[in-house]
Amino acid sequence: MSNRAAGVDTRSSLSASSSESKKFRVEHKEYTSPPYAERALDGTPPPPPGLSDQLGEAEHTTSNTDLVDPKGASGNLSRWMRFRAAMREPMAEFLGTACLIIFGNGVNCQVVLSEDPGVAASPKGNYLSINVGWGVGVAMGVWLSGGISGGHINPAVTLALATFRGFPWRKVPGYILAQILGGIAGAAVIYGNYFQAINIIEGGSHIRTELTRGLFATYPKNCPPPAGLAPLLLFFLVLGIGTSLGMQTGYAINPARDLGPRILTAMAGYGRAVFNFRSQYWFWCPFLAPILGAQVAAVIYDGLLYTAEASRTTV
């Protein structure tokens, strides 16, 4: 009987202990770590000597929130990691846009400022250098940020993707702000790098005019290619037309290029067939269409873009 009584007492004490433990957990709404003996059984390393009392006390005073984000250094790290995760995409846009501006405005400054003999012994670049520099800036900026944020580096791209491609609108303000700040940061780097050269061009550190402000911002004016470079640009234009749009008509954009050889072909013995082929195709497409197209393009350009001398180009 005594053994049975002892067993009953033992079960009663265990039941009471279990009830108190459950009551403790309910009241504090927390999960306490298993005892150290159970840690040893399940393979969990024991705490270092001297910390047992502190850990034992912490097991009964630490909330769920503290277990996930403990106070002290580890808590600061956890808060920093959450902040870093939230800012990762905007920071990628910031760095990508800054990279774009560093390369783009950098080549602007190098090419323009080096033309002054007081800045450089000889010019360091040309119009083609500017195109290449901006192209490199775009590529590097997108490569830098593309895997994290998508590589927008342009508020217009962000807004277009939000409007038509389902990009979350809640991210738009952060992206645009990061892009603008990235532009400011990139321009600041370049301004600091070329500060002395700008002072030489302007005549002093407190003088800033239109001579150099265009190195950093865009203004409403056309930027035609310099003399001698237009043929190179036309080369790429004709190449693009031929490779992208040339399946139907080839390079049928110049009436003289078609009509002159066609007349010679007729004189060489091919007769009137060169003019009658496919219902006078030669007249409608290679001759009339380029003339009308040029007129329409000129009307659109003059109506929307042309400003007095700004659009004149010397070839």
Least confident of 12-16, 109-113, 151-155, 182-186: 12-16
Least confident of 78-87, 152-161, 210-219, 263-272: 210-219
Alpha helices in the chain (DSSP H): 2-28, 36-41, 52-59, 64-68, 73-113, 127-149, 155-164, 172-193, 195-202, 210-213, 230-245, 255-265, 273-276, 281-282, 289-304
> Could you read off the pLDDT of 73-110 as tens digits, one per residue?
555 668 888 888 888 899 999 998 988 888 888 888 88
Residues 287, 255 contacting (CB under 8 angstroms): yes
- Of the candidates 158, 163, 156, 161, the one whose C-alpha atom is nearest the C-alpha of residue 92 is 158
- Spell out the domains of the chain, with CATH numbers in brackets: 22-68 (no CATH), 88-213 (1.20.1080.10), 232-311 (no CATH)
Provide the pLDDT confidence category of residue 39 given band limits of 50, 70 and 90. very low
Locate 306 and state its tokens: 């042309």
Confidence at residue 64, expressed as pLDDT on a 0 to 100 scale: 40
Judged against a pLDDT cut of 70, whether residue 176 lies above it is answered with yes
> Could you read off the pLDDT of 279-298 as tens digits, one per residue?
777 777 777 888 788 888 88
- Of the candidates 102, 106, 181, 180, the one whose C-alpha atom is nearest the C-alpha of residue 140 is 102
Top mean pLDDT of 14-18, 37-41, 286-290 is at 286-290
CB count in 10 Å sphere of residue 116 = 12
Provide the pLDDT confidence category of residue 240 given band limits of 50, 70 and 90. low
Confidence at residue 167, expressed as pLDDT on a 0 to 100 scale: 92
Judged against a pLDDT cut of 70, whether residue 58 lies above it is answered with no
> Could you read off the pLDDT of 271-280 as tens digits, one per residue?
787 787 777 7
Provide the pLDDT confidence category of residue 179 given band limits of 50, 70 and 90. very high
> Could you read off the pLDDT of 107-131 as tens digits, one per residue?
888 888 888 888 778 888 887 788 7
Confidence at residue 134, expressed as pLDDT on a 0 to 100 scale: 83
Judged against a pLDDT cut of 60, whether residue 63 lies above it is answered with no
Better pLDDT: 193 or 246 = 193
pLDDT mean over 252-278: 71
Better pLDDT: 140 or 69 = 140
Confidence at residue 89, expressed as pLDDT on a 0 to 100 scale: 92
How far is it, in rounded angstroms, from Cα 182 to Cα 153? 9
Write down the mean pLDDT value for the chain: 69
> Could you read off the pLDDT of 213-238 as tens digits, one per residue?
555 555 555 555 566 665 666 667 66
